[in-house]
Amino acid sequence: MKQRTKLLIAFCTIIFVPILLVGAAFFSFRHIQMRELQENYGIESSDYTYLLNTVQLLNRYTQKSYETLVKLADSDPAQIEDIDYLKKMDDSLKDKNSYLLVRKGTDIYYLDRERVSRIPDNLPEYTGEERDEDMGIYMDSEDHALIKQVDFEFSDGTPGTVFIISNVQEIIPEIKRMIIDMSVSVVLILIFTASMLAIWIYSGMINPIRKLQIATKNIMEDNLDFTIEAETNDEIGELCQNFEEMRKRLKEYSEERLNNERQNRELISNISHDLKTPLTAVRGYVEGIIDGVADTPEKMDHYIKTIYNKTNEMTRLVNELTLYSQINTNRIPYNFNKINVADYFRDCVEDLTLELESKNVSLQYMNYVSDDTLIIADPEQLGRVINNIISNTLKYLDKPKGFIYIRIKDVGDFIQVEIEDNGRGIAASDLPYIFDRFYRADASRNSATGGSGIGLSIVKKIIEDHGGKIWATSKPGIGTIMYFVIRKYQVADVQPEETTGGME
């Protein structure tokens, strides 16, 4: 759920849920309070007007006392003269915030001075008329009283009046309790609603944010071995997913950086080891010349040729190191041109033949493409590919008579080059890794099978930058076949004259 939807739900919840709950509480309290009013004051109506109009309510709940006094005034006025009876009735009105006042002529006949210290001003005059039981006189004075009047005559003929005086300013206890209950209910409802929303928002937002804080701290401490799971599909969940993706990439980058550092150390170790052998040989032959060991023209010529070959070997190792640095920075210099396939590979084979014959290796070349087939390639870098493959092949030739076959085939939009040998072959478990940097199928190292370990990785990089691919098949003890393909030149192809860092 999106955060926008959550906010909309929260907004509606804050508005409508309290209204519905308060409404339900109000109707519940209304039922309870009206029932109490009926039980306590004999009010049988369930109309809200009594709750909203205090004067009408006070008039209602003193109605029974008023009716009793009216009957006594008509049938037994002498009982109204009884002080004990008046006190008893007065006590019954006490809980209704009302009291009795009896006037005899112009004098006060009965008034409980312990309850009431002040007589209301402007009490109605004696009229002798029958009053409407639903009527009362409201005195909007300092006392704010509702007065009901019952006129009668004392036994001695003196006119008298009984007043039921209700204090309008005092709300009945049930109304007070209802207001308090409603207020408490509203507060509890608001607290409940806010708590539910807080828990919902906390679980949906705060918890993921706290996880992100912990994850950020772990990254600051170079700890990338953790995971962040997105618990929701909203914006926070997407943020967690993005953070997890960033963590994975940082971990991959960190592992790659550590691997590159390890490979760099291994490269330095390999180059150092491989340079020792030719350097030792050069030093030995130079010392032999200085000491006069090469005392014949034939020996001198042999010593000088050996020194020359060893320096060439050291130059090749340094060049590989330079090229490796260019690979790491993706800055291999390319100069792409249209190349005639037949002419180019025929020249390569001629250059290789003399060198291979001197090492008792037979080279056979077969071209199955037409003479006008063209490719777009860098002649120098493509030649490096051929030389590195042949050089790697020579290291692992273990037969008295070596054979190398170079075949050029037409495979549709590509030309395919196959270089086959009869060397020791490569185990199936090693075959997927032979193009990785510093990987050696034979972990043992000696002067005969040394090398930097990056020759085939350079080959793969160059072929891929030409838009092709390279792979190999091998049978241990029988030999290996290296394959690579390069796209043919098409008239619609547009290639830059010089490109650095690889082809698109």
Contact partners, residue 78, CB within 8 Å, separation at least 6: 155
Residues 86 and 166 in one domain: yes
Do 387 and 421 lie in one domain? The reply is yes
The answer to whether 122 touches 101, Cβ cutoff 8 Å, is no
Sign of CA dihedral 334, 335, 338, 340: negative
264 and 395 in a common domain: no
Average pLDDT over residues 344-357: 89
Task: Give the domain-ending residue among 269, 293, 325.
Answer: 325
Distance between CA atoms of 502 and 331, rounded to whole angstroms?
A: 8
Q: How many of the other CB atoms lie within 10 Å of CB of 154?
A: 16
Residues 301 and 162 in one domain: no
The answer to whether residues 363 and 461 belong to one domain is yes
Among 285, 301, 325, where does a domain finish?
Answer: 325
User: Contact 335/341 with Cβ under 8 angstroms?
Assistant: no
Assign residue 301 a region (left: φ > 0; alpha: ψ between -120 and 50; beta: otherwise).
alpha
Contacts of 398 (CB under 8 A, 6+ apart): 423, 424
Of 146, 167, 158, nearest to 103 by C-alpha is 158
Write down the pLDDT at residue 47: 52
Domain total of the chain? 4
Tell me the whole-structure pTM to 2 decimals: 0.47
Alpha helices in 292-403 (DSSP H): 297-328, 341-357, 379-395
**102 within some domain:** yes
| 244 and 309 inside one domain | yes
Dist CA 144 CA 457 (whole Å): 105
Q: Domain with 253 in it: what CATH number?
A: 1.10.287.130
Distance of CA 51 to the CA centre of its chain: 55
Residues 6+ apart with CB under 8 A from 476: 424, 425, 426, 427
- Does residue 433 form part of some domain? yes
Q: Is residue 230 part of a domain?
A: no
Q: Is residue 218 part of a domain?
A: no
- Strand 361-367 relative to strand 402-411, pairing: parallel
Residues 159 and 185 in one domain: no
CA–centroid distance for 482 within its chain: 47
Mean pLDDT of 87-105: 87
220 found inside a domain:
no
Do 434 and 357 fall within a single domain? yes
On whether the CB atoms of residues 462 and 385 are closer than 8 A, the answer is yes
| DSSP label at residue 120 | P
Note whether 357 and 489 are same-domain residues. yes
- Mean pLDDT over 424-449 rounds to 71
- Is position 422 within any domain? yes
Confidence band of 272 (pLDDT split at 50, 70, 90): confident
pLDDT tens sequence across 237-269? 778 888 888 888 888 888 888 877 877 777 677
Specify whether the CB–CB gap between 189 and 21 falls below 8 A.
Answer: yes
Residue 450 and residue 407 in one domain: yes
Domain coverage including residue 39: 3-47+176-211
How far is it, in rounded angstroms, from Cα 79 to Cα 72? 7
Asked if the structure places residue 93 within a domain, the reply is: yes
Whether 449 has a pLDDT exceeding 50, the answer reads: no
Q: Is there a single domain that holds both residue 496 and residue 441?
A: yes
* Shared-domain flag, residues 339 and 312: no
**Is residue 115 assigned to a domain?**
yes
pLDDT for residue 500: 43
Q: What residues form DSSP beta bridges with 374?
A: 340
